[in-house]
Structure 1
Amino acid sequence: MSLLQIDEKEAKKLYKETVRELLEEEGLIGSIWKMDRMLLECVGYGERWIVDHICNHPYVIKHQIAVKFGGEWTFKAKRIVEFIDMYYPELGVNHKRGVVKQ
């Protein structure tokens, strides 16, 4: 006889929720991010910087990784993480103005 009774259905539900939260935090799932999430990813930079340096980047525009819907920017989560990893060294370029920030 067991001293603990575990509701397997409830335990599986909690496990799935926890795994999903962890994967979302890592950017591995969750199809769409809003600007609030991008601000967390780009610590120290504001919304204007993200728009000028990321949203206006030619690669992001060409592949529609960031799109403005009704005045709010949305991002394809997995693709924007890949973009930041791939283009990190050149994110100092303000693509809206064509200016390099030192």
Structure 2
Amino acid sequence: MVKFLSSRDVRNTPGALWEALESGASVALTANGKPKALVIGVGEDDFEETLRDLGRIRFMRTFRTLQAESLSKGLDRLTEEEIEEIIRKTRAERSR
């Protein structure tokens, strides 16, 4: 379950944030009615694992974005020779 709290609510009644987290809810923090952050509860036992999971989620989001971008540019239709040429040019530019 996700509970929405405005940044003003958190500033004025910070206990509402802790209460929501203790109940097992995640909290979406909003500013001007738009979500700006997601707060999830963690404990000592699962902090490191949760941090790793968040890293994986960020990676997957970035990967999907790059994949969609490459499809929209038609990069999925490049031949192996075209790919090798791009790599060769990039390496030559970097060595300058």
Asked whether the two chains share a fold, i.e. TM above 0.5, the reply is no
Which fold has the larger relative contact order, with Cα–Cα distance below 8 Å and residues 6 or more apart in sequence? 1
Structure showing the higher helix proportion among its residues: 2
TM-score, normalised to structure 1, is 0.29
